[in-house]
A and B are shown apart, each in its own frame.
Chain A
């Protein structure tokens, strides 16, 4: 397929299709930076040169930013694709005030408490509410009034200071079919205000940064009755780019997934580049419905949530199998490759270096599997960008050979 390019106001280029990586921790920031340096262009598989963007939540920014600084190598070698040359997005991610892990909620509160010191207590007290219905009602009643023009302005300024290449208007999640009208109305209002603020009090950046409206939604709200309302809210304020951040996508629910894909198709018909956040391999399907770029976390499920007091996840995370296109846990992975003398089933640079599962020490495992994930995603993007056949045909072939055959039915 041919790769389309769009020059952003920051003078970087947004290619279609593109893959962005969502870095969450200091270790992941370091790991991305080290992978860029360790596997440069002259190696067989291009390192991670096909990964064109890095997404950071505002609450994680201070931990990751030190690894995204300009690199002297970029001056010596024009092909060196340093982290600072890639598109940087700093997601205000205020949806964490409403749902998600406690760590994310705390990180988000730590960013905004400077401007709205009372909000953190309210968010924490609402998080304690057991009934989901009551939690949503109280969030709308108590948190929404704090999400005003001043907070939007501060969050846009935060992104400018963090050298974000595209500014994201903060918005509330669309998660409740029962309260969808209140949620879309607030989204619409915030999107409108984001544009007005950029054009007025942040006027220095109106011609230097694209503005993205990023709608955070659970696919369950995408019913035919709500579709126009959500579309209108997402496009409010004439953004340069639109984004959709998915919460709790259940790919097994084919009706909901098909609704989502139709929604993306409608949204992309607006002619604005569309970025789909928080997806894994399913994101490739969205390319066939108009997505320009997708953003995925490093080697983990985007929808994992743990409640307070629940059992901790195992320390050793999962390995992404590049042919099966699914993750195998540290416990199950050896069984999968026992028949082949534990030979690693992948030819990315780091798998070639280790060769066998038995050579990877337990303490190296998480580092190894995450670098492997980045390298494999790079190979997958290269494959999708260079395919001679239409993208849907290439993906049908790829998913058909994997454990993700269910995705084939979603492809046009």
Chain B
């Protein structure tokens, strides 16, 4: 069994008592923390061996974390290896912008695929913070992306004026 670093977790009988929505939050956060702790990557089976969650739960949450770009996977043979995405390269270059209960974070990160600008949406509930989504734009193409957004904004303005 390959040892991976895992955060402190609740015993299985305790976490199962949590209300369903909080249980989902809990499992996702533990998986997020576990992948972040293991910068060389983890597989779903490693996680299932060392965390008190069943394989289906783990796979479900890994796919959510992949969709929001918090983690990414590379295939080693037939096995996906999950790696953390959200480790900023330059903390000083991290910027945040809040709209009501949502916060948009932009920062530069580097993963095995290269350097990216990561734009992430965080949703704040009364007690928790959840990642709503995230997009990765290659750093080299970021200016093009900004131009595209500016042009889109102009289109919005124009359509507002015409209507």
Spell out A's residues near B (CB within 8 Å): 148-150, 153, 157, 160, 192-193, 195-197, 199-205, 237
A158 to chain B, nearest CB (A): 11
Contact indicator B30/A200 (Cβ below 8 Å): yes
Contact indicator A201/B22 (Cβ below 8 Å): yes
- What residue of chain B has the Cβ atom nearest to residue A157's Cβ? B127
Residues of A contacting B110 with CB < 8 Å? Answer: none
Tell me the chain B residues, 112-156 only, with Cβ under 8 Å from chain A: 124-129
B104 contacts A by Cβ under 8 Å: no
Residues of A contacting B59 with CB < 8 Å? Answer: none
Contact indicator B18/A153 (Cβ below 8 Å): yes
B3 contacts A by Cβ under 8 Å: no
Contact indicator B125/A204 (Cβ below 8 Å): yes
Residues of B contacting A205 with CB < 8 Å? Answer: 127
**Alpha-carbon distance A149/B19, docked complex (angstroms):** 11
The prevalent SS among residues of A at the interface is helix
Contact indicator B127/A192 (Cβ below 8 Å): no
Residues of B contacting A201 with CB < 8 Å? Answer: 18, 22, 25-26, 29, 127-128
A192 to chain B, nearest CB (A): 6
Contact indicator B129/A203 (Cβ below 8 Å): yes
B80 contacts A by Cβ under 8 Å: no
B7 to chain A, nearest CB (A): 7
Residues of A contacting B29 with CB < 8 Å? Answer: 199-201, 203
Contact indicator B127/A200 (Cβ below 8 Å): no
- What residue of chain B has the Cβ atom nearest to residue A150's Cβ? B17
Residues of A contacting B10 with CB < 8 Å? Answer: 149, 193, 196-197
6 pairs of residues in contact across A and B, judged by CB atoms under 8 Å: A196-B7, A196-B8, A196-B10, A200-B25, A201-B128, A203-B129
A240 to chain B, nearest CB (A): 15
Contact indicator A160/B8 (Cβ below 8 Å): no
Spell out B's residues near A (CB within 8 Å): 7-10, 14-15, 17-19, 22, 25-26, 29-30, 33, 124-129
**Alpha-carbon distance A193/B9, docked complex (angstroms):** 8
B3 to chain A, nearest CB (A): 20
**Alpha-carbon distance A153/B126, docked complex (angstroms):** 13
**Alpha-carbon distance A200/B128, docked complex (angstroms):** 8
Contact indicator B129/A196 (Cβ below 8 Å): no
Residues of A contacting B128 with CB < 8 Å? Answer: 201-204
Contact indicator B124/A204 (Cβ below 8 Å): yes
Say whether, besides A157-B127, A204-B129, A205-B127, A199 and B18 are in contact (CB < 8 Å).
no
Interface centre among B10, B18, B19, B33 (most CB of A within 10 A): B10
Q: A196-B9, A196-B10, A204-B125 are in contact. List 18 more A-B contacts (CB 8 A).
A: A148-B17, A149-B15, A149-B17, A149-B18, A153-B22, A160-B127, A193-B10, A197-B10, A199-B29, A199-B33, A200-B29, A201-B25, A201-B26, A201-B128, A203-B128, A204-B124, A204-B129, A237-B8
- What residue of chain B has the Cβ atom nearest to residue A237's Cβ? B8
- Residue of A196, A204, A237 near B127 (CB, 8 A) is A204
B75 to chain A, nearest CB (A): 29
- What residue of chain B has the Cβ atom nearest to residue A205's Cβ? B127
**Alpha-carbon distance A157/B126, docked complex (angstroms):** 9
Contact indicator B8/A195 (Cβ below 8 Å): yes
B119 to chain A, nearest CB (A): 20
Residues of A contacting B126 with CB < 8 Å? Answer: 157, 204
Residues of A contacting B127 with CB < 8 Å? Answer: 157, 160, 201-205
Residues of B contacting A195 with CB < 8 Å? Answer: 8
Interface centre among B8, B15, B127, B128 (most CB of A within 10 A): B127
Residues of A contacting B22 with CB < 8 Å? Answer: 153, 201
Interface centre among A150, A193, A202, A204 (most CB of B within 10 A): A204
Residues of B contacting A237 with CB < 8 Å? Answer: 8
Contact indicator A193/B18 (Cβ below 8 Å): no
**Alpha-carbon distance A205/B29, docked complex (angstroms):** 14
- What residue of chain A has the Cβ atom nearest to residue B28's Cβ? A200
- What residue of chain A has the Cβ atom nearest to residue B13's Cβ? A148
A134 to chain B, nearest CB (A): 28
Residues of A contacting B125 with CB < 8 Å? Answer: 204
